[in-house]
């Protein structure tokens, strides 16, 4: 029987997730596997989508995706173009950025427009009311477009290391709920 931990793929955002990020904590604590990208500094949407597809095709069973920030946009973009959506059972999408904002760094311009197609699998989007990279109303619209359940975590910034979430047990409970629904 395949290892259930190996069926959870961690998708960090731009510049990767550092040692104190909840995604890294979940990898250490639960044995989840990070999808490594070739270029964390100048992410190209097509390259990141190809890498996700490659990892999913090599996976022994359908996977659960745990995405943060630009990783959320990766899931939406990949799902809109793949023929392999059945390889994903569901996704936890945390802190999606608004890559269409005028103040986004030039490294993220290839991530426009924001994919709006409904996801072909169950998803939960977790947002913050004071995320500096996406207004909560805009993030709520993305969740609605993607057909995802919306969870508002409160005023916790970008839901990253600077937010001080540590292992973020409340977030892990959302993943467990998604996996058992």
pLDDT (mean) for 155-179: 97
pLDDT surpasses 50 at 132: yes
pLDDT level of residue 149 (50, 70, 90 thresholds)? very high
Nearest to 172 by CA among 1, 49, 31, 69: 31
Q: How far is CA 24 from CA 29, 124, 157, in A?
A: 9, 20, 18
pTM: 0.96
Q: If DSSP states are collapsed to H, E and C, what string results for 8-61? A: EEEECCCCCCCCCCHHHHHHHHHCCEECCCCCCCCCCHHHHHHHHHHHHHHCCC
Identify the three-state secondary structure at position 152: strand
pLDDT level of residue 181 (50, 70, 90 thresholds)? confident
pLDDT surpasses 70 at 1: no
pLDDT at 2: 47
Residue by residue, DSSP assigns 70-102 as HHHHHHHHHHHH-S-GGGEEEEEEES---TTST
pLDDT at 3: 56
pLDDT level of residue 5 (50, 70, 90 thresholds)? low
Cα–Cα distance for residue pair 158/96, rounded to 1 Å: 9
pLDDT surpasses 90 at 163: yes
Cα–Cα distance for residue pair 170/92, rounded to 1 Å: 12
168 phi/psi in degrees, rounded to 5: 45, 65
pLDDT level of residue 91 (50, 70, 90 thresholds)? very high
Cα–Cα distance for residue pair 12/141, rounded to 1 Å: 22
Looking at the chain, the whole-number percentage of residues with pLDDT higher than 90 is 96
Using one digit for the tens of pLDDT, what is the confidence trace for 25-61?
999 999 999 999 999 999 999 999 999 999 999 999 9
For the chain, the average pLDDT equals: 96
Using one digit for the tens of pLDDT, what is the confidence trace for 64-77?
999 999 999 999 99
């Amino acid at each position: 029987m395949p290892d259930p931990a190996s069926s959870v793929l961690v998708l960090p955002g731009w510049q990767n997730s550092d040692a104190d990020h909840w995604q890294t904590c979940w990898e250490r604590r639960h044995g989840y596997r990070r999808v490594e990208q070739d270029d964390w500094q100048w992410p190209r949407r097509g390259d990141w989508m190809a890498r996700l597809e490659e990892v999913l095709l090599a996976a022994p069973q359908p996977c659960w995706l745990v995405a943060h920030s630009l990783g959320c946009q990766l899931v939406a973009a990949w799902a809109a173009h793949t023929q392999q959506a059945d390889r994903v059972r569901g996704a936890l999408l945390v802190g999606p950025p608004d890559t269409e904002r005028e103040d986004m760094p030039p490294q993220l311009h290839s991530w426009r427009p924001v994919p709006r197609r409904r996801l072909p699998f169950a998803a939960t989007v977790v947002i913050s009311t004071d995320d500096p990279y996406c207004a909560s109303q805009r993030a709520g619209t993305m969740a609605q477009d993607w057909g995802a359940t919306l969870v508002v975590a409160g005023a916790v910034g970008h839901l990253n290391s600077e937010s001080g979430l540590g292992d973020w047990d409340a977030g892990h409970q959302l993943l467990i709920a998604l996996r058992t629904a």
